[in-house]
Amino acid sequence: MNIYWAFPEQKWNVEPIPEGKDLDPNRAFLPLQLAKKALQGLGHVVLPINNRYRSQEISHDGIVFSFDAMHLLPKDILRKHPVKRLIHFFMEAPMVGMRYYSHKYQQDVFEKADTVFIQDPSYIHTRFRNSKKLKAFKFAHSHLGIEDSLFSHSSRKLLVLINANKGIGLKQSLKRLMLGVNPLSYYPNWLLRERMRWIHDLARKKEIDVYGYGWNRYSLELSHVSSPLENQAWKGTVEGPKFPVLAEYDFCLCFENSRFPGYVTEKIFDCFSTGTIPIYRGAPNINEYLPEGSFINLSDFNSGDELLRFLKNMDDSVKSGYREKMKSYLNNHRDDPFSPLRMADLIVQEVEKA
| Amino acid at site 257 | N
CA distance 73 to 169: 29
* pLDDT for residue 16: 62
Q: Is the pLDDT score of 140 beyond 90?
A: yes
CA distance 155 to 243: 16
The highest-level CATH class for domain 148-332 is alpha beta
Q: What is the pTM of this model?
A: 0.89
Kindly report which listed range (7-11, 37-41, 204-208) carries the lowest average pLDDT score.
Answer: 7-11
Q: Where are the domains of the chain?
A: 2-140+339-352, 148-332
- Name the 3-class secondary structure at 67: strand
Q: Do domains 2-140+339-352 and 148-332 have the same CATH topology?
A: yes
Provide the strand spans (E) within the chain: 2-6, 45-48, 63-67, 85-89, 115-118, 134-136, 157-162, 209-211, 219-221, 224-226, 249-255, 277-281, 296-297
CA distance 237 to 162: 8
Cβ neighbours for 57, distance < 8 A, ≥ 6 positions apart: none
The closest of 211, 203, 197 to 243, measured between CA atoms, is 211
Q: Is the pLDDT score of 197 beyond 70?
A: yes
Q: What is the pLDDT of residues 223-273, one digit of tens each?
A: 444 567 766 898 999 988 999 999 999 999 999 988 888 889 999 999 999
Fold for 2-140+339-352, please state it: Rossmann fold (3.40.50)
Q: What is the pLDDT of residues 141-189, one digit of tens each?
A: 999 999 999 999 989 999 999 998 866 555 555 565 565 555 555 555 7
